[in-house]
Structures are given as C-alpha cells and as structure tokens.
C-alpha cells in the first residue's frame, strides 16, 4: 500500500441527490468511487491524485435495470455480475454479457461497475466496444438536471471524457433493435481469464443473402479511445461479402486504428489481430447469409 489513508477523505452520501449536491458545491474536487476496482488500484500504487472521494457504491438509484419497450436502461452502478445475471441483456445484448464475463475474476465482477468502466476510460476496457456497437446512449445527472447523449463521442481523448466535473453517469441506455443481427465479440488477452485486452472487438451486422445491410464494428485497445470503425463500416454497407471485400475490410480496419507498442503487446501484432478479427466476423456474417 503506497498511500496513506489519513491523507484521504471518503464520504458516503445516502442518496443520488446528496451525491450530486456534494459534487456541485466544489466541482472537480470530489472523485466518485463506485466499486473501486480502478480507483483503489491507483490508490494502492500511490498514484491517486484526488484526496477527496465520494462513494456512490450502494446508491439504489444507480443500481436498477429497467426494461422499457424500446430500450434497456442500465443504472451506471450495475456490476458485471448484475449484467451477467440479467436475462434480457443476455438475450438481446449478448456481447455486453460476454464482456462482463471476461472482466477480471468473479470478485472483480461483483464490484466493478459499468459506469466505472466508462469513466475510467481505459482504451482496453472490455465493455466499451459492446456499448459502441449497440449504439448506447448515456444519461448524465447533476444538480442542473439530466442530459442524454450518445455514448459514441463521449471519450474526448486518452482517458478524457465529456463528463462535466459536477456530473455522474446515471444510466446507460441500449436500444432494443438488434434482434436478428449476427453478433461477434472477442477478447484477445494475455491469458484466458483476468487479462487486460491486447485487442477486443464487438461487432454486429445483418445481411440479405450475401449483401451487407447494416454493420457495426467497434474495437478496443488499438487507439487512445475505444473506436467504431466507421470508414470500414461505410465501405462494407451494401456490398457483397467475398474474399476481396474481406481483405479490403481488413486493410481499411488496420488503417483506421492507431495501435501502440507497450509492455503488453506490439502495435503490429495489435493491427494484425484487429484485421483478423474483422475478417473472422465477416466470414461469420457471410455464413449466416448462406444459412
């Protein structure tokens, strides 16, 4: 433990209102802590810059999962375990369930939250490509009220988000319009469990015969922020899947990402694997069209 607990304050407001009220009084001064699986790691390493923390763990308002007619509204404080155990998410958003299952071990899934994963904004975060692929939207809350914005674009740069200093994420909304889509998600880590992704992908699409009608491809760990491969998607829409399209898509995907060398992997490996995953997805999509 490389920090001194007595240098830190931690308060636990009893309600969401009280929590945002506290943030509003001195914006930027209080760091929210939910499951603590990112914050406490930084703290233990002596690398947590904020000295004042506000616990939002256990705020009931952040823990609900509402199934509405056209969307699912997931409280930002839902844990990976909550996500994994939810039937509708499992059926309609299987890539989010898988991401939850791939995140750390069971203890980590019992504490880590979706809101924490989003705001921690690691490029390697596992649930974020799924959120991008499913066109998720965020509901943010502050004393000024709530606002809703698309999740795509929320990350302004490496570990930077569009969250205002007095805001919390209240919920993540997933539109219920992907039934009948082919989904393919994969996490490529250094081992089968408890691994930080070297590349992760969540992709979905629909074909009529062999023609691509709709396609969403999102990747993580290959750029400063999780990415939708929009140019690749654009290029694919309306085209017939064949070998040359697959290889063109691989090339374009690689051109869209900005992978780096770090202690976990190399840029060229990440690029190659991204291309391969895109190809693997298109082959599945094509197989579905033939079935």
Tell me whether residue 113 or residue 286 sits nearer to ligand FAD (CB atom): 113
Q: How far is the CB of 117 from another protein (least distance, A)?
A: 14
Per DSSP, the three-state class of 35 is: coil
Q: How far is the CB of 198 from another protein (least distance, A)?
A: 8
Query: Which residue reads 């699986």 in tokens?
Result: 37
Three-point CA angle 55, 56, 62, nearest 5°: 175
Tell me whether residue 115 or residue 259 sits nearer to ligand FAD (CB atom): 115
**Percentages (nearest 5) of helix, strand, coil residues in the chain:** 35, 25, 35
Binding residue for another protein, selected from 107, 234, 240, 260, defined by CB under 8 A:
107
Binding residue for another protein, selected from 41, 255, 260, 287, defined by CB under 8 A:
41
Contacts of 266 by beta carbon, 8 Å cutoff, 6+ apart: none
Tell me whether residue 119 or residue 182 sits nearer to ligand FAD (CB atom): 119
Residues 143-202 that bind another protein (CB under 8 A): 186, 188, 190-196, 198-199
Give which of another protein, ligand FAD, none residue 190 binds (C-beta under 5 to 8 Å, depending on kind): another protein
| Number of chain residues interacting with another protein (CB under 8 A) | 56
Alpha carbon 228 to its chain centroid, in Å, reads 12
Binding residues (CB under 6 A) for ligand FAD: these are 31-39, 41, 56, 62, 76, 102-104, 108, 111-113, 115-117, 119-120, 125-126, 163, 168-169, 194
Could you tell me whether strands 9-11 and 52-55 are parallel, antiparallel, or unpaired per DSSP bridges?
Answer: parallel
Q: How far is the CB of 211 from ligand FAD (least distance, A)?
A: 34
Cα distance between residue 291 and residue 289, in whole Å:
6
Do 278 and 250 touch, CB atoms closer than 8 A? Answer: yes
Tell me whether residue 172 or residue 241 sits nearer to ligand FAD (CB atom): 172
Tell me whether residue 121 or residue 257 sits nearer to ligand FAD (CB atom): 121
Tell me whether residue 131 or residue 168 sits nearer to ligand FAD (CB atom): 168
Q: Which of 86, 88, 8 is nearest to 46 (CA)?
A: 8
Q: Verify binding: residue 268, another protein, rule CB under 8 A.
A: yes
Mask of contacts with another protein, 218-257, x by CB under 8 A?
A: ----------------------------------------
Three-point CA angle 54, 104, 187, nearest 5°: 120
Q: No. of H helices and E strands in the chain?
A: 11, 14
Q: Verify binding: residue 36, another protein, rule CB under 8 A.
A: yes
Cα distance between residue 265 and residue 258, in whole Å:
13
Q: Which of 76, 57, 54 is nearest to 65 (CA)?
A: 76
Cβ-closest residue to ligand FAD? 116
């Amino acid at each position: 433990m490389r920090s001194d607990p007595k240098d830190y304050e931690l308060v636990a407001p009893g309600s969401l209102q009280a929590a945002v009220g506290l943030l509003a009084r001195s914006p930027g001064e209080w760091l929210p802590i939910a499951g603590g699986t990112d914050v406490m790691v930084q703290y233990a390493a002596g690398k947590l810059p904020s000295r004042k923390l506000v616990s939002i763990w256990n705020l009931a308002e952040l823990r609900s999962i509402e199934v509405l007619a056209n969307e699912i509204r997931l409280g930002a404080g839902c844990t990976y375990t909550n996500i994994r155990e939810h039937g509708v998410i499992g059926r309609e958003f299987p890539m989010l369930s898988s991401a939850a299952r791939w995140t750390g071990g069971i203890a980590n899934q019992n504490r880590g939250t979706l809101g924490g994963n989003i705001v921690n904004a690691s490029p390697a975060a596992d649930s974020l490509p799924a959120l991008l692929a499913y066109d998720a939207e965020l509901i943010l809350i502050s004393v000024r009220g709530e606002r809703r914005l698309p999740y795509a674009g929320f990350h302004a740069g490496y570990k930077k988000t569009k969250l205002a200093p007095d805001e919390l994420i209240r919920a993540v909304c997933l539109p219920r319009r992907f039934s009948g889509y082919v989904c393919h998600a994969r996490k490529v880590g250094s081992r089968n469990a408890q691994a930080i992704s070297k590349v992760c992908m969540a992709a979905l699409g629909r074909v009529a015969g062999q023609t691509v009608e709709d396609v969403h491809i999102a990747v993580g760990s290959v750029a400063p922020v999780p990415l939708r491969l929009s140019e690749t998607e654009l290029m694919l829409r309306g085209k017939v899947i064949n070998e040359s399209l697959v290889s063109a898509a691989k090339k374009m995907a690689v051109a869209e990402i900005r992978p780096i060398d770090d202690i976990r992997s190399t840029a060229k490996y990440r690029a190659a694997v991204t291309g391969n995953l895109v190809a693997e997805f298109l082959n599945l999509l094509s197989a579905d069209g033939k079935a």
